[in-house]
Structure 1
């Protein structure tokens, strides 16, 4: 029997690991709320067709990486490999495009995704994403605002070595013109391409540009630029994006070979990359773009959209690589040292009273000696230590010590229950 975690998954352990995750998630929640994005939570598994229709059956995700299964009624289900398609499905199913909702309709999500691929550093089979989606606006300002929010997020985390890379995939007219130009360029080299790229050449030639196979790289580097095939409308949209990025003084690079790994993108796409050497091949820490046909593809009305996703595991990697210091772990406002079996019930009552007053508190449950309990209080970073022994219990008094100033005072036990806030202020404002 195997009682180890499945390959490609991780346990996120307390205290330090989970605190780091919570720090990242809370940063995202606070920032996204400031931009008027609201949280949505979708099922971990969806119908298989949701991803075939949206991500595209020629993408690696659908063709190679999805965890798919048939349920007891023979319905084809899939653990979600990415977050946008489920959010779009929920947007359509719940008619969030109705006249009672304002546009752009802004959503964010945080949760696990699943892809069956070779596990490596920062790339697991169960991984966790933070993502946003904005529906209903074709305005290139929506593209730039969302990109700016992503850049702001990383700056708030303390990252310095990041850069923004953008491209445009244009509209339907652009894609049709460029598709033929790309086929014409690649066809003479077909036999030299990887097996996957030979298949993609006829099915979806843009997928060739996303290939990581060394056999394809030389041809990708010399491929015609999609920016030379932008329709007038697509060209104007992209020019507005760059103009607005310039106006916000957000530095960027243009990479005309960047296509992203999903079929639903149109117009603006972007990646935020880390230039920290330790990241190696896992340098992309955030990616996204515009998808103007996806809502319609999943049964909704024609609705433009823009979004991005970032992997929490990879964010943690780059924070570590840049040696960013996390905030100090949460300390305990008060720790109750309980001495003697007779004080057990009263110590619990004291601890709960402190919590009820709005402070964090903990106590000893192991009947240890005073020295061991004080060591625990120091380890937890307790501001105050309250000591209750059998004599104090008999006198209805309690000792309180400020662990920084080392000042100690005795208080009437009933004062703890009636006004601990006043006692806390008195003990922490002493010089």
Structure 2
């Protein structure tokens, strides 16, 4: 959540920076709420002062043995108005919080300014796309004889789900294990197993609620002994569960940085994306991802983002997959991010690079929502900075291997780094092939 004090101090500058994100800040709406808050607080202070003065007068009258009933009646009336004023002030504060929760993060000064993905800036590339001496097939066709089954998934659930069988299912599992091992043993992350279902407070803490409620899958938890049902949510990414570990916590300075990783399924309704990437595994309602989350000192978050991008790149390099790193412009960043890099892997069947990882510095945006803090060198609580990113999306990595490492006979060569995870199997062959 944006710092509401910034709105109070210099709302015009905030509005200008948010306009870079194609977000129109309702300046008049905020100012109107602020005027009501100030008026309500001023009246409450006035009433409290009057009550204190009258209470002293009542005390003096009683000390003299005189009748103070008229003043006492007046004090009672003030008490009623104070209670009403306190209730209204609480309502205004809720409205201000709701207002702030709908505002995206301010872009980092180094974030490129632009309106759409066309204005993203390429930072670097790795690898040279392979030149094929046969007609390239996409992952759907390559995988059809290797255990990639969309028809059965549609029967079981519906569109945008996938069933993997046999060797291709093992390859999917191998990828996740390889990613986890790399990030824990080489990059110093702590592996976590997290809930796949979280409460609304967790979704609100990382910014999925209330902004993106339509993109979430929710479930109802029955109330205990006649209590009300609680709405819970399937995680769209383990960023939610990992980052919320520090919600409502004050972390010791010595514990920073905190580095978490987890392999989980992710569930997204993909609201608003119908008609996009309907073929294959690129855009699914359920997919697996290895997530990277770091909780850091504010002074370290810029450098940490650069470090995390390199850590995600290592996975693609070891898998011999060409990719590009893009700095997202202000108009293409996610709601909670101050700065984002996308890593796009080369897909030969599409003859283009497609997103396989997105890594972002949220600065204090999520921490403010979660009240996640640390004790600084002076012992005072201060908001943490949070960062997250894919290390990588497992399904899209599988897609990239199927397409980049396909062979003319329909088989797929498995990158050498995965051989130990595949029990020595070095290629996937079509069913019935020798």
> If the length of structure 2 is used for normalisation, what is the TM-score?
0.50
Higher normalized contact order (CA 8 Å, seq sep 6+, divided by chain length): 2
> If the length of structure 1 is used for normalisation, what is the TM-score?
0.50
